[in-house]
Structure 1
Amino acid sequence: MPRASYAPYAALAASVLFWGLSFTATKIALEGLSPSSILFLRFGLACLLLLPPALRAGALRLPLRVHLQVLAVSVVFPGCYFALETWALRLTSATNASLIAAAIPMMVLALSCAVERRIPSLRSMAGVAASLAGVAMLVGVGAGPGGPVNTGDALMLGAVASAAVYMVATGRLCANVAPLGFTALQMAWGALFFLPMFLADPPTPEPVPLASLLAVGALGLFATVGAFLAYNYALSRVDAPTASLCINAVPVVAVFGAHLALGESVSMGQAVGGAVILASVYASTRPARNTEESAQPA
C-alpha cells in the first residue's frame, strides 16, 4: 500500500484521540468555567485559527446555496451537539457520556433508513435493538437514586441524536466542499451560535484556575481544530462506514483518559452496557460476506 494511502487512517486516529480526550478536558474546564464560556471560547479560538488560512486559500468562495447548507448543519453540529454534551458533562461522568456516544452509529443507521425509505437488514435491526438495550443498561446502572446523573444522560442522548442528524445530512456536502473551508465555516457559525449564551452568562470576576484555561485551549486547538480538520479530511478520502467504525474507538480513549486524569471508575454493569453498545456497532457495520450492507452511517 502506498505511503500516502495511510494518511486518511492517520487522520482518523488523530480525531479518535482528540475527541476521546475531550471528555476529560471538558470536565476539567467545568471546574472553573460555565458551559457557555467553555463553548464560546473553544469555538472562538478555533475560528480565529482557521478563518485566516481559509480566506487566504479561497476556500470560502462557495455558492450561497452551499453557505446556507453549511449554516443549517452547523446549527445542529457543532451547535446543538456540543451544547447538549457540555451541559451533560456537568451532570454525568465522562465515562458515561462517552459510552452513550457510542450509540451514534446505530442512530445514524435508523435515521438514514427512515430518510431514504428503505428497510435495513435483519442484522442491522438487531444491532440497533442491542445498542439501545446497551444504552438503557448503561444509563440505568450509572444513575444513582435521586441523583442528577439521569438528566445528564438524557442530555447526552440528545447530543447523540444531533450528531446522527448531522452525519446523515452532510454525507454528500463534505465530499463537495474542501475540508479547510467546511471546517472553518463550522467553527465560525459555532462561535456565533454560542455567543448569546456567553453574553447571557459571562465569566465571573474571580480568577479562573490555570487547569481550566489550559483545558479550554486544548479543546479549541486539538479537539476542535485538529479533530474536525482530520475527520473532514478523512471523510473526503475514506468511505463513511469505515470512518464511522474507526470513530467508535472514541469511548475507549475517553474511558482510559477519565480513569487516568479524573480517577473515574467503571462498574461491572457500566462495562457490560458499554461492551454491548460497541459489540452491536461492530456487528452492524462490518461488511457482510456475500452482500453489501445497506447502511451508510454518514
Structure 2
Amino acid sequence: MNATKPNTTIIPVIAILGAVILWGSSFAAMKYLVGHLNPWAVMWMRTGIATLVLSPFIPRLAGPVKKGKDRFALAIMALFMPCLYFLFESYALTFTTATQAGLISASLPLMVSVGAGFFFKEKTTLSGWIGLALSMFGVAVLTLSGNASGNATNPALGNLLELIAMVCASGYMLLVKRLSANYGPWTLTAIQNIAGCIFFIPGLYLLISDGLGPDPAQALIMAGYLGAFVTLGAFVLYNMGISRLPAGKASAFINLVPAIAAFFGWFLLGETLNFAQLLASAVIFAGVGLAQIGGKINWKSLIIFPPGSPLKQKN
C-alpha cells in the first residue's frame, strides 16, 4: 500500500504543475491578442478552438450529467469559468500589463483556502487570514502605484478587473472540488468549453467583421496555443489534479503563476515594474508565504530563514 502512495500523490502534483505553467504563459499571449483583436473575438477563438479539439473525444471520455442540483452547480461552474473569468481578464489585459495581472493572480490560492474553510471545513489558520489580508494590501498598492503607459493605459481599472476575475476563479475551483466527486475531468472541461463557446458567440461576428488583425498568422498561432493548450489542456490537468488533492493544497501551486507570467511578460513583451510595484509584489508573495507556513505563526523562523527557504508546513 505504501509503495503505491507516492504515485497517487505525484501524478496529481505533476498535472497541476503543468496546468499552472500553461496558465502563467497565457498572460503574455492574451496581452498580445487583445492588443490587436476585440476581447470577445479572442475569447470565442479560445473556447471555440478548445471545443473543436475536444469534440472527437467527448463521446468516449465525457460522462452523462446527472439530474438535480448537479446541473445548477455545473451551470454556475461554467459561468464562473470560463465565461466571467475570461471576460474580466481579457478586458483587464486591455488596461494593464501581463506582468501586473499575473502578480494579482497570487491572491487566488488564499481566496480558495478561505473558501475551502467555509464550504469544505478545511482548516483556515490565523496565518492564513493574516496572509490573505497582507496579499490584498499588496494588490491594492500594486494597483495604485501603476502609471499609465503604452502597455498599461489604465492599470488601476485593469488590476481591479483582474482581481474580480480571481474571485470568479476561486468560485470555480471550489465548485470543481465538489463536482469532481461525481464527474471526471474530461466531463467538466467539456461543459466549460461548450458553455464558453456559446457565451462568447458575439465574438464570432466581430471576428468575421474585423478580421484577424495586422498579422493573421501570428494571431492564429497565439489563439491556437491558448485554445488547445491553455483553455483545454490546462483545465484538464487541473481538474485531474484537484480531484485527488485538498482544494487548499492544490491551489497553492497557483503561487507559481505570477513568476511565470512576469517572466513571459518581460521576455516576450518587454514589460517591467517600477520600484513601488516591486515592493508591492514582495508584499503579495509575503502574504502567500505566510499563509503557507501553517497553524502557528513562528516569527523566529520568519527571521532566521530567508524568503524561499524550505520551512516546514503543517498539512
Per the TM alignment, residue 167 of structure 1 is displaced from its structure 2 partner at its CA by 2.3
Which of 81, 87, 93 lines up with 2:97 in the alignment?
A: 93
Which of 272, 281, 290 lines up with 2:288 in the alignment?
A: 281
Give identity over the alignment, percent. 32
Aligned to 1:270: 277
String of CA shifts for 1:253-285, please: whole Å, max 9, x gaps: 000011000011122222221221122122213
Worse-matched range after superposition: 272-281 or 181-190 = 272-281
Change (3 A) 1:105 1:203: farther
Give the number of aligned pairs: 292
Worse-matched range after superposition: 244-253 or 169-178 = 169-178
In structure 1, how many angstroms separate the alpha carbons of the residues matched to 2:96 and 2:198? 27
Aligned to 1:64: 67
In structure 2, how many angstroms separate the alpha carbons of the residues matched to 1:105 and 1:207? 36
Equivalent position amino acid for 1:268 in 2: F
Per the TM alignment, residue 200 of structure 1 is displaced from its structure 2 partner at its CA by 6.0
Aligned to 1:20: 24
1:175/1:235 contact within 8 Å kept:
no
In structure 2, how many angstroms separate the alpha carbons of the residues matched to 1:263 and 1:111? 36
In structure 1, how many angstroms separate the alpha carbons of the residues matched to 2:248 and 2:194? 28
Change (3 A) 1:294 1:287: closer
Which of 183, 186, 201 lines up with 1:180 in the alignment?
A: 186
In structure 1, how many angstroms separate the alpha carbons of the residues matched to 2:22 and 2:74? 23
In structure 2, how many angstroms separate the alpha carbons of the residues matched to 1:164 and 1:175? 18
Per the TM alignment, residue 24 of structure 1 is displaced from its structure 2 partner at its CA by 0.5
Correspondence 1:190 to 2:196:
yes
Per the TM alignment, residue 116 of structure 1 is displaced from its structure 2 partner at its CA by 7.3
Aligned to 1:138: 142
In structure 1, how many angstroms separate the alpha carbons of the residues matched to 2:45 and 2:142? 31
TM-score scaled by length of structure 1: 0.88
Structure 2, unaligned runs of 5 or more: 298-312
String of CA shifts for 1:221-265, please: whole Å, max 9, x gaps: 111111001111111222222211111100100000110000111
Aligned to 2:205: 199
1:120/1:294 contact within 8 Å kept:
no
Question: The residue matched to 2:181 in structure 1 has which SS?
Answer: helix
TM-score scaled by length of structure 2: 0.83
Aligned to 1:81: 85
Structure 1, unaligned runs of 5 or more: none
Per the TM alignment, residue 197 of structure 1 is displaced from its structure 2 partner at its CA by 4.5
Per the TM alignment, residue 192 of structure 1 is displaced from its structure 2 partner at its CA by 0.8
In structure 1, how many angstroms separate the alpha carbons of the residues matched to 2:59 and 2:120? 36
Aligned to 2:229: 222
